[in-house]
Chains A and B, each alone.
Chain A
Amino acid sequence: MPTRVICGKTVQVNDEGFMTNPAEWDREIAVELAKEEGIPELTPAHWKVIDYCRQVGVSSGKAPTLRQITTGSGLSTKELFSLFPKGPAKKVARISGLGKPEGCV
């Protein structure tokens, strides 16, 4: 399993750059990963999404799908797509230190 260093911490990642051990994630890492995804600053609204994904990811072991995020966090589809433009499904999961979401909706 490849590893990489983010914010001075060595974490395990897969070939697509998703972290494979959610326990290695922290908020500093999220800020760095968000920059890589083209989001310069994480606002409270971004954190609302990330915190929700962490909560689901840590308890179920899977990243939530977009619809699970909107129904679970109370954010609208429009808000979600404007917070994480151009492909929120993978972006949110990657920033939250989880794998790609499993599920089609």
Chain B
Amino acid sequence: MAEDRKIAFICSKGNLDMAYPALVMGWAALGNGIDVTIFFTFWGLDLINKKRVDHLEISPLGNTSMKMNLMGIPDPIGRLGIPNVVGMLPGMTAFATKLMNDKMKELGVPPVREYLQMLSDAGAKLYACKMSVDMMKLTKDDFIEGVEDIVTAGDFMDMTEGAQIIFI
């Protein structure tokens, strides 16, 4: 393994299922001695937003991979979908979110806030995207501890020179 390997993640989604890829891979990278930078942009800012990080959600609506068996309904054919008309019923997003959180807990996967704390404690550098922050009228005070700064796209390019970049 190269001594100076660096990986940068760009988190652009705020859905619960899209929060985990960077957290899992970032943690694995840190465990293997790889330098990690995470840049949160657009909806990805929800992951570091104090008021939202504990309330990330997943909706079955328009999600063709979310099948009935994930909702705990027996499905012998293995590909029984959830009709969008069911997914739009009130409470379905909360239900799907609870199921996913329960499954993560079963696997011993920590909640997003705790995961980000682990990454930060292990040396990952977390940054918020300036343009998105301005657009959403946020300030550094809106973010969880561990977020080092609000930076521009150009700053991100400078700080990730030589890094492998993963866009999520």
Residues of A participating in the B interface, judged by any CB pair closer than 8 Å: 66-68, 70, 76-78, 81, 85-90, 101, 104-105
* Secondary structure class of chain A's binding surface, majority of residues: helix
Closest to A85 in B: B33
Residues of B participating in the A interface, judged by any CB pair closer than 8 Å: 24, 27-28, 30-34, 107-110, 117-118, 121-123
How far is A66 from B24 in the complex, measured between Cα atoms in Å?
12
Identify which of B33, B34, B118 contacts A67 (C-beta below 8 A): B118
Q: What residues on B are CB-neighbors of A66 within 8 Å?
A: 27, 31
Q: What residues on B are CB-neighbors of A101 within 8 Å?
A: 31
Q: What residues on B are CB-neighbors of A90 within 8 Å?
A: 31-33
Closest to A91 in B: B33
Given contacts A67-B110, A89-B32, A104-B28, 6 further A-B contacts (CB under 8 A): A67-B108, A67-B118, A68-B108, A81-B123, A89-B28, A101-B31
Q: A66-B27, A87-B33, A88-B31 are in contact. Are A105 and B121 (CB under 8 A)?
A: no
Identify which of B24, B109, B121 contacts A81 (C-beta below 8 A): B121
Identify which of A81, A87, A105 contacts B32 (C-beta below 8 A): A87
Closest to A88 in B: B31
User: In the complex, are the beta carbons of B27 and A105 less than 8 A apart?
Assistant: yes
User: In the complex, are the beta carbons of B24 and A105 less than 8 A apart?
Assistant: yes
Q: How far is the CB of B110 from chain A (nearest CB, A)?
A: 7
Closest to B121 in A: A77
User: In the complex, are the beta carbons of A77 and B33 less than 8 A apart?
Assistant: no
Pairs of residues from A and B, 9 with the lowest C-beta to C-beta distance, nearest first: A87-B33, A89-B31, A86-B33, A77-B121, A78-B121, A81-B122, A87-B32, A77-B118, A104-B24
User: In the complex, are the beta carbons of B30 and A81 less than 8 A apart?
Assistant: yes
How far is A86 from B27 in the complex, measured between Cα atoms in Å?
12
Q: How far is the CB of B38 from chain A (nearest CB, A)?
A: 16
How far is A101 from B32 in the complex, measured between Cα atoms in Å?
11
Q: What residues on A are CB-neighbors of B107 within 8 Å?
A: 105
How far is A25 from B54 in the complex, measured between Cα atoms in Å?
43
Closest to A80 in B: B122
Q: What residues on A are CB-neighbors of B117 within 8 Å?
A: 77
Q: What residues on B are CB-neighbors of A77 within 8 Å?
A: 117-118, 121-122
Q: Which of B28, B30, B31, B32 has the most CB of A within 10 A?
A: B31
Q: What residues on B are CB-neighbors of A68 within 8 Å?
A: 108
Q: What residues on A are CB-neighbors of B24 within 8 Å?
A: 104-105
Q: How far is the CB of A18 from chain B (nearest CB, A)?
A: 14
Q: Which of A77, A87, A90, A105 has the most CB of B within 10 A?
A: A105
User: In the complex, are the beta carbons of A105 and B109 less than 8 A apart?
Assistant: yes
